Amino acid sequence: MSSADAPDQEPAPPEAEERPAVRLLVDEEAVQGRVAELGAELRADYQGVEPVLVSVLRGGVVFLADLVRAAAMPCLVDFMAISRFDASKETGVVRIEKDLELDLSGAHVLVVEDIVDTGLTLTYLLRVLAARGPVSLRVCALLDRRARRIVDVPLSYVGFEVPDVFLVGYGLDLDERERGRRELLAVDDLEAVRADPTLLDLPTRADDAWRPSRA
């Protein structure tokens, strides 16, 4: 029998659509646009006072560096380093590895955070800072991942609300690396990226990215 008589071969099922290991979540232009807006808001809100901007090492440093330039206002900057006491327990109790050098009594304090996730670290930190007698204590977070919040913590300024996926870039690390990337990447498959970090090298412009409103 000739092969012509054979029933038509079923077309091969389309390849199961592969989920990319990494997606571009916020591109550089969108990050910079939003940081410029936050800076302008801070400049307006802190007119006539010289706030102390407190940055939590290490993730928040890239955001802080751009934010102070965007705000272009009189302010002081100081740094803290903290580590979770017991990473296995989500208690939020942290050890202060490096304390601030500035005195916060009578100061307007703005904590500048990269991302607020469970809110446990920040809640603990705010309690510590509040005990030092600032006249005001607010938080400016670039990223807010509300889906994972355990403790409600008031955020006065937020750059972007982000989904529950591991983020890398713009200060956020992947095993202490990649903090210098100008965009924010969502890593859906950490093991794939650990095996092949070039997966992070995506086109750096997102067509559907959020853009700052231009007045």
Q: How far apart are CA 117 and CA 120, in angstroms?
A: 8
> Mask of contacts with ligand 5GP, 103-142, x by CB under 6 A?
----------xxxxxxxxxx--------------------
Buried/exposed code over 93-108 (b: 16+ C-beta within 10 A; e: otherwise): ebeeeeebeeebeebb
From 27, 66, 114, 117, active-site residue: 117
Residue 146 contacts residue 126 (beta carbons within 8 Å): no
Which C-beta is closer to Mg ion: that of 60 or that of 159?
Answer: 60
# chain residues binding ligand 5GP, by CB under 6 A: 16
27 belongs to the catalytic site: no
Asked whether position 158 contacts ligand 5GP by CB under 6 A, the answer is no
Which C-beta is closer to ligand 5GP: that of 62 or that of 172?
Answer: 172
Binding to ligand 5GP in span 162-181, by CB under 6 A: 166-168, 172-173
Residue 26 CA: distances (Å) to CA of 5, 13, 33, 141, 187: 55, 34, 11, 15, 12
76-84, strands of its sheet edge to edge: 94-98, 76-84, 52-57, 108-116, 136-144, 157-161
State the nearest-atom distance from the C-beta of 204 to ligand 5GP, in Å: 19
Asked whether position 55 contacts ligand 5GP by CB under 6 A, the answer is no
Paired tokens of 66 = 């751009």
Q: Which does 118 bind (CB under 5 to 8 A by kind): Mg ion, ligand 5GP, none?
A: ligand 5GP
Q: Which residues bind Mg ion (CB under 5 A)?
A: 56, 59-60, 114
Asked whether position 183 contacts ligand 5GP by CB under 6 A, the answer is no
Asked whether position 51 contacts ligand 5GP by CB under 6 A, the answer is no
| Residues with catalytic function | 117
Residues lying near ligand 5GP in the complex (CB under 6 A) are found at 59, 113-122, 166-168, 172-173
